[in-house]
Amino acid sequence: MHAGQRYTLKEFLFWTRRDIYILVVLATIPTTLLFFFHWQWLAIPWVPIALVGTAAAFIVGFRNTQTYNRLWEARQIYGAIVNSSRAWGMLVKDGIGDPAKDPMPEEHRQMIYRHIAWLTALRYQLRENRAWENARSKPSYIEYGRLYRVEEWDTKLDDALKPYLSEEDLHFVLARKNRATHLISLQSAQLKTLKSQGHIDPLDHVELEQLLVNLYEQQGKCERLKNFPYPRQFATINQMFVRLFICLIPFGTLGEFSKLSDKLGSWIIWLAIPFSVIISWVFMAMEKIGESTENPFEGSANDVPVTAMSRTIEIDLREMLGELDLPPALTPVNNILM
């Protein structure tokens, strides 16, 4: 997530510079051919190109609306995880054991730390690469990605889980494919054991189990966004329309500036290049914004900051345990918060 006031023009140009180079070449070739070889047939009337541009604008607007909705839904889901996590810490601390006779601090610590391990496993699963994601495949995204750090790519899950789990739990979880799912099942199994031993009131047990069910629900929503991409047919037609329009723009601007060359001189035709690049860049940039927004957990600069939010939850939960040696909250690196 970009944590500054806005992307600067310098950042945006750095992100899109490879595309700008291509746009300059696309605009220069037909302009050069018309100027030196007098191929007047390259100057196409603007009306048919404008019709293609209208269709491209509609499909780009539709896509960007839907990809923003995916991003906002992901943020709402993780906001619900924050709330449920705090509720879990409160109910574990106050609902398990008797504060006067049997406070059970070790059980509290175990269950709260296991929840932090669930958050860790979940964010690692959400940062796994998928075939349709771009953060680790396209050069422009890879280059921009060097300005920030994605912890889930640089650190092994085993090392990230060790501080929060016992050896037995760690071996059990790492042997499973969906680690987050089985961490919640361990929580439920321990709740059942504590209830049978009389350490949890039946009503408190019901509340705690409902919280676990809610966490499963939020995890499932995250997995749905992660594993079901923005429909490929819409993404494909969006890219095709924009690229078609961008390829046609230089020929349309040639037609317009050719009309001015009789009055102002033949040199005016060279202005077709910068104007073609500017118009093309606008559509190309809108297309790239939609593309970079559609996968809210892929590890791009526009992601939901699940790592920072998980750290916030960890700090809150460990403070509930009375701990003082807490990890620092994550801060933006080059205005990017992961």
Task: For 229-246, write each residue's pLDDT tens digit.
Answer: 989 888 999 999 999 999
Instruction: Determine, yes or no, domain membership for 72.
Output: yes
Q: Which whole number is the average pLDDT over 88-97?
A: 90
Instruction: Determine, yes or no, domain membership for 3.
Output: no
pLDDT, position 159: 93
Range of the domain at 157: 9-320
Instruction: Determine, yes or no, domain membership for 336.
Output: no
Average pLDDT, the chain: 90
Asked if pLDDT for residue 79 goes beyond 80, the answer is yes
Query: What span, in angstroms and rounded, lies between the C-alpha atoms of 168 and 190?
Result: 14
Instruction: Determine, yes or no, domain membership for 1.
Output: no
pLDDT, position 262: 67
Residues with Cβ < 8 Å from 149, sequence gap 6 or more? 333, 338
Largest Cα–Cα distance of the chain, in whole Å?
97
Instruction: Determine, yes or no, domain membership for 175.
Output: yes
Region of residue 229 (left: phi > 0; alpha: psi -120 to 50; beta: else): beta
Task: Look up residue 201 and give its amino acid.
Answer: D
Q: What angle (nearest 5°) sits at the alpha carbon of residue 338, between those of residues 291 and 163?
A: 135
Instruction: Determine, yes or no, domain membership for 331.
Output: no
Q: Which whole number is the average pLDDT over 168-181?
A: 94
Paired with 333 in beta bridges are 336
Question: In this predicted model, what pLDDT tens digit does every residue of 31-66 receive, in sequence order?
Answer: 888 888 888 888 888 888 889 999 999 999 999 999
pTM assigned to the model: 0.91
More confident residue, 44 or 156: 156
Residue 336 · residue 301 · CB < 8 Å: yes
Residue 125 · residue 180 · CB < 8 Å: yes
Query: What span, in angstroms and rounded, lies between the C-alpha atoms of 75 and 26?
Result: 39
Sign for the CA dihedral angle at 328, 333, 336, 338 comes to negative
**Residue closest to 3 by CA, chosen among 291, 289, 304:** 304
Query: What span, in angstroms and rounded, lies between the C-alpha atoms of 283 and 40?
Result: 26
Residues belonging to the chain: 338
Q: How many domains would you assign to the chain?
A: 1
pLDDT, position 212: 96
Low-confidence winner among 75-84, 198-207, 210-219 (lowest mean pLDDT): 198-207
Instruction: Determine, yes or no, domain membership for 153.
Output: yes
More confident residue, 263 or 118: 118
Burial 179-212 (b: 16+ CB within 10 A, else e): bbbbbbebbeebbeebbeeebbeeebbeebeebb
Query: What span, in angstroms and rounded, lies between the C-alpha atoms of 318 and 34?
Result: 70
pLDDT, position 261: 65
pLDDT, position 213: 96
Report percent pLDDT > 70 for the chain.
98
Instruction: Determine, yes or no, domain membership for 89.
Output: yes
Query: What span, in angstroms and rounded, lies between the C-alpha atoms of 329 and 85?
Result: 17
Query: What span, in angstroms and rounded, lies between the C-alpha atoms of 16 and 44?
Result: 27
